[in-house]
C-alpha cells in the first residue's frame, strides 16, 4: 500500500480525511443526504473504488501536509460518513486556474449536475481567470450561447433559485426569468403558477397568491406574460437610444445591459434587438423626456406648452393638473388644418406619450371646437337650432343605414343556413363533422387554440403545426373517435362563448 509520502503525481496515495478540506470553487453545492448515505454503505462494504483528486495547500496545524479537493467531494463526504480514516487520492500540483477548469469539466461530465451549480462554476472561472465567454466555451467544448445562458442563471433572485432547485419550475422557466431585472423577476415568477385565493381574516379580504402546490404552467404562459408586460420596443419610444439626458448617470439605451441587443447571445430568441427589459427605467425616461421636451417648447413658443391626454385618468390628473382631455382639444392632423389658434402640445399618456402634436383648444374657433361650443351661447341660438336639426337628420339617416345593413346580414345568414341544411343531410357524415370542427377551431383566438390543444395533451410540435395549418387540423381530427370529436367541439364552444354557461355540461 502506498502512503501519502509517495511523490509520484500519478501514484495513488491514502490520505487521512482530517488533512483534507473541500474546495470553495466546486460548482456542485447540492449533495442530497440520502445519496451520501447510500454511498457510505457502499464504501463500508467495498471501500472507495475511484481515487479523488487533491492538490497540496498550506501545512496543517500539526506541521504535516494539507490538501484541497479538486474533484471527488461526494466520495470524500461518503468516506467521512462511513468513518474511514483515509481515502485513496491522486495528488497533483495545480494552479487556481487549472483547478477551476478541472472542476467545471468534471462537473459537466456528471449526468445529474444542476444548471445553477454549473452556472456558479462558470462564474468562478470567469472571475478568477479573466477569460472571455469564447475562451470558456472552447475549453469546455460548448458554444458561446450555452455559456452565456448558464451564466445568466446567476442573476436569478433567491426565490426563483429555490423554486428551480426544488423543481417547481423548469430550466426553460429559469432561463426566461434570469434575463429580467430583479424587480421584474418576482412578478414573472408568480406568472409561472396558477393563482389561488387566500383569506385574510384580519382584513376580511381575499388575496390571490401563486399556487406552488401545483406544477408550474407551461413556459409559453410565462413568455406571453413577458411579451405583454415587460418587452418594450425602443423603436417606438419618443426619445433616441443615445440620449444621455434621461438618466442622472447618463446611461443610454444603446449601452444598457437591459437592452436585448446588448447581449445578442443571451437574447437570440428575441427578434427585435432594441427591446427594453426594464419597464421602471423606461417609464422614468419617458417622464424625463416629457419634461425636457416641454421646457424646450416653452422657450421656443415663449408660452406654456399644454399637456394632452388620450383618455381621462385620475393618475394622469394627479400628475399633471392642467392636462387637457380629448373633449377639451382637437387634433390638427394636417398642416392645412392649422388655424390661428393652433399650438403645439405634448402627450403625457397612452401610446403617444412624449410625442408632440398640433392642437386647437380655443372654444370660439369656428373651424374646430367653436362648431360645438358657439351654439351653447345665447347669441348663437339660431346656429344651435340649425346644427341640432342637421345633426338629427344625419343621425336618422345613419341609423336607417345601420338597420338596413343588419337586415341584409340576417337575410344572408338565413340563406347560408338553409343551404347548409340542404347540403348536409342527417345523419351527418363524419367528414362533414370534421369540416365543421375545423372551421370552428380556426375562428377562435390563437391563445384559445393553444389552450385547447394543451388540454387535450397533444404533442408540443403538433400543437405548433396545427395552429398554422388547416389541412393538418383536418387530418388530426380524422384520427379522433366520436367521443373525442365531441370533446373537441365542446372545448371550442367554451372558448367561443365562455365556459360559465357550459359548466354543467357532460360528454357521455
- What confidence tens digit (pLDDT) does each residue in 10-63 have? 678 899 998 899 988 776 777 888 889 999 999 999 999 899 999 998 765 666
More confident residue, 11 or 485: 485
Work out the pLDDT band at 380, boundaries 50, 70, 90: very low
Q: What is the pLDDT of residues 283-310, one digit of tens each?
A: 889 889 999 999 999 999 899 999 998 7
User: What would the mean pLDDT of 457-467 be, rounded to a whole number?
Assistant: 69
Q: Is the pLDDT of residue 331 over 50?
A: yes
Give Cα 9 distance to the centre of its chain: 51
Q: What is the pLDDT of residues 250-261, one digit of tens each?
A: 999 989 888 888
User: Which of 307, 297, 289, 275 has the alpha carbon at shortest distance from 240?
Assistant: 289
User: What would the mean pLDDT of 462-470 be, rounded to a whole number?
Assistant: 66
Residue with the three cell numbers 444621455: 244
User: Which of 40, 46, 45, 94 has the alpha carbon at shortest distance from 70?
Assistant: 94
Work out the pLDDT band at 452, boundaries 50, 70, 90: confident
First to last CA, the chain: 76
For residue 211, give Cα distances in angstroms to 181, 182, 191, 476: 23, 21, 10, 34
User: Which of 156, 157, 194, 158 has the alpha carbon at shortest distance from 175?
Assistant: 156
Q: Is the pLDDT of residue 378 over 50?
A: no
String of DSSP letters for 319-369 = H-TTPBPGGG-EE--SGGG--TT-EEEEE-SSTTTT-EEEEE--TT-TTTT
Question: Is residue 352 exposed (0-12), middle (13-18) or buried (19+ Cβ within 10 Å)?
Answer: middle
Q: Are 289 and 354 in contact (CB under 8 A)?
A: yes
Q: What is the pLDDT of residues 171-226, one digit of tens each?
A: 999 999 998 888 889 999 999 998 887 777 676 676 778 888 888 888 988 888 88
For residue 350, give Cα distances in angstroms to 26, 143, 318, 354: 51, 42, 16, 9
Choose from 106-120, 232-246, 389-403 the range with maximum mean pLDDT: 232-246
User: What would the mean pLDDT of 355-374 be, rounded to a whole number?
Assistant: 82
Q: Are 369 and 330 in contact (CB under 8 A)?
A: yes
Confidence at residue 29, expressed as pLDDT on a 0 to 100 scale = 73
Grid cell locating 14: 491514502
What is the C-alpha separation between 149 and 268, in angstroms, rounded? 10
Confidence at residue 274, expressed as pLDDT on a 0 to 100 scale = 83
User: What would the mean pLDDT of 399-409 be, rounded to a whole number?
Assistant: 69
Work out the pLDDT band at 6, boundaries 50, 70, 90: very low
Choose from 68-82, 138-152, 428-442 the range with maximum mean pLDDT: 68-82
**What 3-state DSSP class applies to 238?**
coil
Work out the pLDDT band at 137, boundaries 50, 70, 90: confident
Give Cα 174 distance to the centre of its chain: 10
Q: Is the pLDDT of residue 269 over 80?
A: no
Confidence at residue 186, expressed as pLDDT on a 0 to 100 scale = 93
Confidence at residue 17, expressed as pLDDT on a 0 to 100 scale = 92
Residue with the three cell numbers 477551476: 100
Q: Is the pLDDT of residue 96 over 90?
A: no
**What 3-state DSSP class applies to 506?**
coil
Grid cell locating 474: 383536418
Q: Is the pLDDT of residue 100 over 70?
A: yes
Other beta carbons within 10 angstroms of residue 116's beta carbon come to: 21
What is the C-alpha separation between 43 and 53, in angstroms, rounded? 17
Grid cell locating 277: 427589459
Choose from 124-133, 143-152, 169-178, 280-289 the range with maximum mean pLDDT: 169-178
Work out the pLDDT band at 426, boundaries 50, 70, 90: low
More confident residue, 76 or 376: 76
Q: Which residues contact 436 (CB under 8 A, 6 or more apart)?
A: 489
Other beta carbons within 10 angstroms of residue 162's beta carbon come to: 12
Q: Is the pLDDT of residue 398 over 70?
A: no
Element (H, E) at 197: strand 195-200
Strand partners, 307: 346
Amino acid at each position: 500500500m502506498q502512503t501519502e509520502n509517495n511523490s509520484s503525481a500519478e501514484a495513488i496515495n491514502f490520505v487521512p480525511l482530517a488533512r483534507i478540506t473541500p474546495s470553495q470553487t466546486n460548482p456542485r453545492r447540492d449533495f442530497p443526504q440520502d445519496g451520501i448515505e447510500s454511498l457510505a454503505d457502499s464504501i463500508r462494504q467495498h471501500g472507495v473504488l475511484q481515487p479523488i483528486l487533491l492538490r497540496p495547500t498550506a501545512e496543517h496545524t500539526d506541521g504535516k501536509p494539507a490538501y484541497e479537493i479538486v474533484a471527488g467531494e461526494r466520495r470524500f463526504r461518503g468516506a467521512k460518513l462511513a468513518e474511514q480514516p483515509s481515502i485513496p487520492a491522486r495528488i497533483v500540483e495545480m494552479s487556481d486556474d487549472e483547478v477551476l477548469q478541472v472542476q467545471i469539466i468534471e462537473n459537466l461530465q456528471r449526468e445529474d449536475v444542476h444548471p445553477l451549480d454549473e452556472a456558479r462554476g462558470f462564474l468562478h472561472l470567469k472571475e478568477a481567470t479573466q477569460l472571455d465567454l469564447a475562451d470558456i466555451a472552447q475549453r469546455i467544448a460548448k458554444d458561446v450561447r450555452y455559456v452565456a445562458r448558464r451564466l445568466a442563471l446567476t442573476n436569478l433572485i433567491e426565490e426563483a433559485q429555490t423554486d428551480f432547485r426544488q423543481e417547481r419550475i423548469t430550466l426553460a422557466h429559469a432561463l426566461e426569468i434570469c434575463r429580467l431585472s430583479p424587480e421584474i423577476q418576482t412578478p414573472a415568477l408568480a406568472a409561472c403558477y396558477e393563482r389561488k385565493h387566500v383569506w385574510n381574516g384580519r382584513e376580511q379580504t381575499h388575496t390571490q397568491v401563486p399556487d406552488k402546490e401545483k406544477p408550474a404552467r407551461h413556459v409559453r404562459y410565462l413568455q406571453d406574460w413577458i411579451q405583454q408586460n415587460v418587452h418594450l420596443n425602443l423603436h417606438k419610444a419618443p426619445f433616441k437610444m443615445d440620449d444621455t439626458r434621461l438618466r442622472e448617470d447618463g446611461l443610454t439605451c444603446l449601452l444598457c445591459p437591459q437592452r436585448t441587443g446588448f447581449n445578442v447571445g443571451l437574447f437570440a430568441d428575441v427578434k427585435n434587438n432594441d427591446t427594453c427589459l426594464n419597464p421602471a427605467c423606461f417609464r422614468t425616461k419617458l417622464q424625463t423626456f416629457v419634461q425636457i421636451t416641454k421646457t424646450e417648447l416653452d422657450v421656443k413658443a415663449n408660452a406654456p406648452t399644454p399637456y394632452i391626454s388620450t383618455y381621462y385618468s385620475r393618475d394622469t390628473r394627479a400628475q399633471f393638473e392642467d392636462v387637457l382631455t380629448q373633449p377639451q382639444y382637437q387634433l390638427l392632423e394636417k398642416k392645412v388644418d392649422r388655424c390661428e389658434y393652433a399650438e403645439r402640445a405634448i402627450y403625457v399618456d397612452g401610446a403617444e406619450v412624449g410625442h408632440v402634436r398640433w392642437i386647437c383648444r380655443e372654444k370660439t374657433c369656428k373651424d374646430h371646437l367653436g362648431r360645438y361650443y358657439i351654439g351653447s351661447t345665447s347669441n348663437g341660438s339660431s346656429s344651435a337650432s340649425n346644427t341640432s336639426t342637421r345633426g338629427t337628420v344625419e343621425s336618422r339617416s345613419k341609423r336607417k343605414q345601420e338597420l338596413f345593413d343588419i337586415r341584409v346580414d340576417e337575410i344572408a345568414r338565413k340563406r347560408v343556413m338553409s343551404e347548409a341544411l340542404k347540403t348536409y343531410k342527417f345523419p351527418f357524415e363524419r367528414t362533414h363533422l370534421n369540416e365543421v370542427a375545423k372551421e370552428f377551431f380556426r375562428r377562435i383566438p390563437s391563445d384559445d387554440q393553444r389552450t385547447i390543444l394543451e388540454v387535450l395533451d397533444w404533442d408540443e410540435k403538433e400543437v405548433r403545426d396545427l395552429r398554422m395549418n388547416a389541412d393538418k387540423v383536418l387530418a388530426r381530427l380524422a384520427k379522433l373517435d366520436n367521443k373525442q370529436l365531441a370533446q373537441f367541439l365542446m372545448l371550442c364552444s367554451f372558448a367561443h362563448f365562455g365556459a360559465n354557461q357550459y359548466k354543467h355540461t357532460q360528454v357521455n
